[in-house]
Amino acid sequence: MTAPPGYDPSLYPDGIVVFGSDQNCTLATCPVEWSILRAQPSIAANAVFIAAFGSSLLIHVVQGVWTKTWGFLAAMAAGSILEIVGYGGRIMLHDNPFSFDGFMMQVICITIAPVFYCAAIYVIFAQIINHLDASLSRIKPKLLYIIFIPCDIISLILQAVGGALSVVASTRSGVESGEHISLAGLIFQVIALGTFTIIFIDYLFRYRRAQRRSGGRVSRRTSVFLRFLFLSVVLILIRCVYRIIELQGGYFSATFRNEGLFIGLESSVMAVAVFCFNVSHPGFFFKDQDAREKMTSESSTD
C-alpha cells in the first residue's frame, strides 16, 4: 500500500484514523508508512538516551544534596525527567508508531525540557558575575533574572501550548496552528538565548582582560567551570536552531521524520549538554570560591 501524503483523513480507507486521540491503527492493521514518523524509532538509541539522562540525573541528585543547591537541582531534575519521559514516548512509538500518547509525550516533553536548563544557566551566570567581578558586567546581575527568566517562561508557555494544541487537533490545519505556536516559542527562545550568549562572551573577555592587566590569572577550576558552562549554552543553542528548522516543515515533513538528524542534533547534543552541567556544577565552584576568599581574608588579617 502506498503511504498517503500528510494528514488527510479522506485519503485513508473508511473507518481508519491514523493520527490523533481517535486513532485506531496498529502495525497489525495499518502499514508503518501511514504513521506520522513513517518508521519505528530505534529502541537501542532511545534506551541509550534514557540511560544517559537518567545517569546524569542521579549524579545531579548526589551533587545537589551534597552541596545543598536545591534550586539548581530542581531545574536539572525537571529537565532530565522530561527528557526521560519524552524518550519513553519514542519507545512507545516503536511498539506502535500510531500511538497518540507516545507522540504526545515526545513532542511536549522533549521540546520543553531545555527551557529548565536555560533557567538554571541564567541564574548561575548572574551568581558568577557577583562572585568574580560585578563591575566588569555591562548588565547588572539582577537584571539577568528580570530579563531572561520571564523570557524562559514565555518560551515555555508557547512551546507547551503549541505542542498540546498540535497533538489534540483533529484536522491538519489545527495541527499546523499548534506547530506555528511551538515554532514561535522556539524562535523566541533562540533570540533570548542568543542574546544571553553574547552577554556571556562579552563578560568572559572583559574578565580575562582584567585579570591580565592586574597580573592575575584565571584559576584552573574557574576556567574549567566557565568553559563547560559555556559549552552547554552553545549546545542548547545549536539544538534550538535545529528544532526551528525541523518544525518549519511541520510534523509531516521529511526533516521531522529524519531520525538520524534528530539523534545527532537533538538527542546527542542535549545529552552532552546535561553532562556539562555535572562538570560545571555551581555547588562545587562557589564553595571553592568562598573558601579561597576566606583564606585570602584570613591572610590579609594576619
Q: What is the CATH number of the domain that holds 71?
A: 1.20.1070
Average pLDDT over residues 82-104: 94
For the chain, the domain total comes to: 1
Binning pLDDT at 50, 70 and 90, where does residue 84 land?
Answer: very high
- Using CA atoms, how far apart are residues 166 and 40, in angstroms rounded to an integer? 21
Average pLDDT over residues 9-21: 68
CA distances from 56 to 71, 111, 160, 234, 285 (A): 16, 19, 24, 19, 18
Binning pLDDT at 50, 70 and 90, where does residue 199 land?
Answer: very high
- Using CA atoms, how far apart are residues 7 and 24, in angstroms rounded to an integer? 14
What percent of the chain stands above pLDDT 90?
A: 57
The cell for 55 is 545517569
In a domain, 45, yes or no: yes
Average pLDDT, rounded, for the chain: 86
The pLDDT score that the predictor gives to residue 274 is 97
The pLDDT score that the predictor gives to residue 26 is 86
Q: Are 123 and 71 in contact (CB under 8 A)?
A: yes
Domain that holds residue 89: 15-286
